[in-house]
Amino acid sequence: MTDAAASAAAAAPSRTASGGEMLVRALEAQGVEVIFGYPGGAIMPVYDALVGSPLTHILTRHEQGAIFAADGYARVTGRTGVTIATSGPGATNLVTGLANALADSVPIVAITGQVARPLMGSDAFQEVDTFGITLPVVKHSFILSDPDSIPELVAEAFAIAASGRPGPVLLDLPKDVAMAPVAARALPRGRPAPLPLPEAAAVARATAMIREAKRPLVYAGGGIALAGATAAFRAFIRRTGLPVVATLKGLGAIPTDAPEFLGLLGMHGNKAANLAVQRSDLLITCGARFDDRATGRVDGFAPEARILHLDADAAEVGKIRAADLALVGDLGQALEALRPGPLAITSWQQETAQLMKAHVWRYDAPGEGVYAPALLRALSEAAGEDLIVTCDVGQHQMWAAQHCRFTRPEAHLTSGGLGAMGYGIPAGIGALHAAPGARVVTVTGDGSIMMNIQELATLNRYRLPLKIVLLDNQALGMVRQWQDIFFDGRLSEVDLSDNPDFAALARVFGLAARTIEHRDEVAGAIDWLLGAEGPALLHVKIDPLANVWPLVPPGADNHEMLEETRQ
């Protein structure tokens, strides 16, 4: 609703609306354009209010698909994603998506229907304690138990979701509240609270630390994009020339082919990045949180480095690794303020450049079969600058992170903290609503795709031109790899050789589809996929025994990487 319309509503206090209508108007007043949801009994008054609303509602085929789509939408737009579901099973189906958004700090407002207030606590039909079930996986939550406070609580939910370190906020709406008459009135708009600015004395100390360091290194995380600080980050790197490593969510903070970029660090990071971290004497940690996938054995991580930690969330400072100095607050402002002047780090820059040269990815795998890393590299090069990759979880996810080119953080949507299989296709649906002209590719596996396969119907319904690359190794490949390496090759429940014919399945859902299995088919298949009109799936049969390299074994230090042995 525009400001004018809001004041018109305020000027007509005699008009009444239902609580459900009030909720829909409150969403409009927040500037929401698209919501992803799935209806049911307790949420019917809200669905009734959607009729005639300017909001676009996207009907997914599962509530998990809806919340992952809202998540993808939020990551690409930087705005809060909205999802809506009914009580009971609708609400419980949102839980994984809430946990995903909390782990990856994604602003989401999730609205759930609830049984009427007098029935709450009576084990009524489709009653679950949504508020209680979701407490550990939300940033905050409200039960909308007062019809008159709906607009204020919706505004507050949006403000909380987007403030500081973003996250999911749940609004549980009892059905009688949704049906109660509410006097129409002005609708407030929730605005995120500004973060504290860095303090001058702390900035001066941080600047001195950077000047004193001989081997300073930047460890970039997802917090850079969340803070809207990508431009400030790039300017900081340009004026300092500092080498950079990135977490899974930090990829794209600077373009992957920038000369300062050493690559992904951690468990499946590249060797140059991990070795540089181990050698560094100052780790400038920007919007990252020392996740165990990034650090390996914490005590052995960057053993010679002092830590300068820049983050929006004070609770991350010292949580895993003690910081020698922290700038907590607005990351962009902190980076703007850090101006250490020319640094005497030429020999360190040469050393890291040397590491890069010594550990470039190789794409000359033997054999005739499709080599997944080479396919992903070629695909991302062919797709160009506006490519957005959404991933599922497993080996294919790590290959995408290692081998695709990313020129901005919003180009790589991955379930980083939670590692939720099933994220890829719904996130692609969200991304296509966020950036309708963009080229969106989902990289998925034969295990993951089945977790939200029903969303192929959503692609067809809205004719969303998502391009899906399905890397089919007939296995839960990542688990198989770990069983091979860490459980003496005893394979347990990882075989998927009875997979359906994925291309035929995709066609049944209305997608164009094609299967390849030889290396010489790759170039043509990429052209076909990127040129296809609507949604399309490229089914790629790959070696069931291919592994992701390098690999830091759990509990090992990051320089103790296992590598591929090629004859």
Partner 1 sequence: MMERFSILIDDSEGALMRVIGTIERRGWRVRALAMTREGNRGCRLELELARLPWHRGDPAILVRHLEKLIPVAAVDCGGRGAPPWTGQTPDRAMVPAAAGAGA
Ligand X SMILES: Cc1ncc(C[n+]2csc(CCOP(=O)(O)OP(=O)(O)O)c2C)c(N)n1
Q: Restricting to residues 341-360, which ones interact with partner 1 according to CB under 8 A? A: 341-342
93: left (phi over 0), alpha (psi -120 to 50) or beta: alpha
How far, in Å, CA of 256 to CA of 400, rounded? 12
In the complex, minimum distance from the CB of residue 446 to Mg ion, in angstroms, rounded to a whole number: 4
Q: Is 559 exposed, middle or buried (0-12, 13-18, 19+ CB in 10 A)?
A: middle
Transcribe 349-368 into DSSP letters. HHHHHHHHHHT------SSS
Tell me which stretch binds partner 1 (CB under 8 A): 97-105, 191-199, 434-442, 526-534.
Answer: 191-199
Residue that is written with structure tokens 């669905």 in the block: 47
Of 236, 219, 254, nearest in space to 336 by CA: 236
User: 209 catalytic, yes or no?
Assistant: no
Q: How many residues bind partner 1 (CB under 8 A)?
A: 43
Q: Which of 28, 63, 336, 410 is catalytic?
A: 63
Residue 393: name its binding partner from partner 1, ligand X, Mg ion, none (Cβ under 5 to 8 Å by kind). ligand X
Binding mask 439-468 for Mg ion (x = CB under 5 A): ------xxx---------------------
The residue among 114, 325, 299, 65 whose CA lies nearest residue 216 is 325
Report in angstroms how near the CB of residue 323 gets to partner 1 at its nearest.
6
**Torsion from C-alpha of 496, 363, 397, 282, nearest 10 degrees:** 140
Task: Report how far Cα 179 is from the mean position of its chain's Cα atoms.
Answer: 35
Q: Which of 445, 465, 535, 550 binds ligand X (CB under 6 A)?
A: 445
- Residue 481 annotated among the catalytic residues of the structure: no
User: Footprint of ligand X on residues 363-402 (CB under 6 A)?
Assistant: 392-396
Shortest separation between residue 110's beta carbon and ligand X, angstroms: 19
Give the span between the Cα atoms of 430 and 364, in whole angstroms.
35
Comparing CB distances to Mg ion, the nearer of 261 and 399 is 399
Residue 199 binding target from partner 1, ligand X, Mg ion, none, CB below 5 to 8 Å by type: partner 1
User: With contact defined as beta carbons under 8 Å apart, do 21 and 184 qualify?
Assistant: no
* Contact yes or no for 97/468 (Cβ under 8 A): no
Work out whether 4 is an interface residue with partner 1 (CB under 8 A): no
Answer yes or no: 125 catalytic: yes
Work out whether 303 is an interface residue with partner 1 (CB under 8 A): no
Contacts of 5 (CB under 8 A, 6+ apart): none
Residues between 194 and 223 that touch partner 1 (CB under 8 A): 196-204, 207
Q: Tell me which residues in 409-428 interact with ligand X (CB under 6 A).
A: 419-422
Given the residues 209, 356, 398, 478, the one annotated as active site: 478
Among 477, 515, 542, 552, binds Mg ion (CB under 5 A): 477
Question: One symbol per residue from 474 to 513: x for binding ligand X (CB under 6 A), - otherwise; what is it?
Answer: -xxxxx----------------------------------
CB 117, CB 174: distance < 8 Å? yes
Site residues for partner 1, 124-163, by CB under 8 A, read 131-132, 135-136, 140-143, 145, 160
CA 140 from chain center: how many Å? 19
Active site residue 63: yes
Given its phi and psi angles, is residue 510 left (phi above 0), alpha (psi -120 to 50 degrees) or beta?
left
448 near ligand X, rule: CB under 6 A: yes
CA atoms within 13 A on the CB side of 95: 15
| Residue placing its CB nearer to Mg ion in the complex, 1 or 538 | 538
Residue 561 appears among annotated catalytic residues: no
Residue 543 binds ligand X, judged by CB under 6 A? no
Nearest to 170 by CA among 107, 76, 255: 107
Contact between residue 151 and residue 22 where contact means Cβ atoms under 8 Å apart: yes
Q: Determine the Cα–Cα distance for residues 21 and 535; give it in Å rounded to an integer.
A: 34
Query: Minimum CB separation from partner 1 for residue 134, in Å?
Result: 10
Output the residue with the shortest Cβ distance to Mg ion.
445
The identity of residue 512, as a single letter, is: A
What residues are labeled active site?
Answer: 63, 125-126, 175, 478
Chain residues that interact with ligand X, rule: CB under 6 A: 392-396, 419-422, 445-448, 451, 471, 473, 475-479
Chain residues that interact with partner 1, rule: CB under 8 A: 131-132, 135-136, 140-143, 145, 160, 196-204, 207, 239, 313-315, 317-319, 323-329, 332-333, 336-342
